[in-house]
Amino acid sequence: MQNVSAPHVVNISDLRSLAKRRLPRAVFDYIDGGADAEVTLRENCRVFDDVTFRPRQAVAVPNCDLSTTVIGMPMDMPILLAPLGSSRTFYPRGEEVAAHEAGEAGLIYVLSTLSGCRLENVKAATNRPAWYQLYLTGGIDAARSGIDRARAAGFSALVVTIDTPVAGMRERDVRNGTKELLGRGVSMLPYVPQFLARPRWLFDFLGDGGLMDFPNVVLPDGMPLPYADVSAALQRTTVTWKDFDWIREAWDGPIVVKGILSGEDALLAVDAGAAAIVVSNHGARQLDGVSATLRALPEVVAAVGGRAEVLFDGGVRRGSDVAKALSLGARAVLVGRAYGYGLGAAGGPGVARAIEILSADLTRTFKLLGCAAATELDRSYIDVPPTWTTGHPTG
């Protein structure tokens, strides 16, 4: 087990380095990589540099209240753990491990449809609310079945991801032979040494059952969706706004729409019944060249006008990033890679360390800003570039 305590691990970048050391290249690049030339991947992180703080000086803040609520659900900190598909390949029982650590920290865990662990087991692993993120992989009947199981298991909200009509072109996966490895034929042989070079990971992976399927997507023949069938399944199951008619009938709880980058789509999501929306470009893993999510956030907040809560994800590596997103109008942020690196580095202790780092960062940032509570942050605490507007130009 790698040591993830201070001073060995000071920030999320340190967890990334440890994950890279433990994981085979194909698995690490699945967490780390983005689409095409990875322009948006880099921009998601860089854009935080464009926003500067305006602290209140000579203000004593002995205690910071990081708590908030998201669609009525209390959290100890304005951070949710985002859905990360295939987390079981990062670490044994990866989704259950991450859900447990989220609960221990008083956070909400969001489970991907494309999980290697049964959703019932994941919900049982956390003592806090958990949300179920929905893909239509396997078809509408399989999705309905997943929704029914999520309700019965006690999931509190349904997160509908709308930005995956096809899988993005992730060039690292091509170079790492992901398709050949999943095919498990002779063509996989040139790519096998990367796994043999990580014996500790390989021992854990094989001990956890080896290559998983997706037990939360049950096909018409009663079998779970095989791992190799995901890309083809995505192309056959595009989510459209019309689908929200039957989704609202199937799920009587709050619906969160994830994948919004414009005011126009934000309004459509509200009209479709969203209690909250997530400003997200899928971690820059779908269409390269789209807006960094922080840049899109003001437009979406302005368009929604309080009719739904606005959440945010993309590029968060520090507590100061969280504070900037909250100041721009986000109710809370979702973090994916930040805890994914921790999970890949050391399992539960790695996830816990990622959360601990973000919590300490956020508390320190609040005190330096002279702000006592997460719910008090607003635009007065930041400066944004004058070229940033709150809406898309017309004409």
Q: Is the pLDDT of residue 6 over 90?
A: no
Q: Could you confirm whether 282 is annotated as catalytic?
A: yes
- pLDDT value for 289: 96
- Output the average pLDDT for the chain: 94
23-82 pLDDT, tens digit each? 999 999 999 999 999 999 999 999 999 999 999 999 999 899 999 999 999 999 999 999
Q: Is the pLDDT of residue 185 over 90?
A: no
Q: Encode pLDDT of 167-176 as tens digits.
A: 889 999 999 9
Tell me what pLDDT residue 230 has.
66
b (16+ CB within 10 A) / e for 195-233: beebeebeeebeebeeebebbbbbbeeeebbeeebbeeb
Q: Tens digits of per-residue pLDDT, 72-123?
A: 999 999 999 999 999 999 999 999 999 999 999 999 999 999 999 999 999 9
In CATH, what number does 12-383 get? 3.20.20.70
Measured CA to CA, the distance from residue 347 to residue 224 in angstroms comes to 25
pLDDT of res. 181: 86
**What local confidence, expressed as pLDDT, does residue 329 receive?**
97
- From the list 8, 100, 282, 392, the catalytic residue is 282
Reported as a pLDDT band with limits 50, 70 and 90, residue 395 is very low
pLDDT at 394 over 60: no
Average pLDDT for 257-269: 97
180 confidence band (pLDDT: 50, 70, 90): confident
Strand pairing report for 79-81 and 52-53:
unpaired
Q: Do 44 and 284 form a contact (C-beta atoms < 8 A)? A: yes
Question: What pLDDT score was predicted for residue 331?
Answer: 98
* 75 sits in which H/E element: strand 73-75
Q: What pLDDT shows up at residue 393?
A: 42
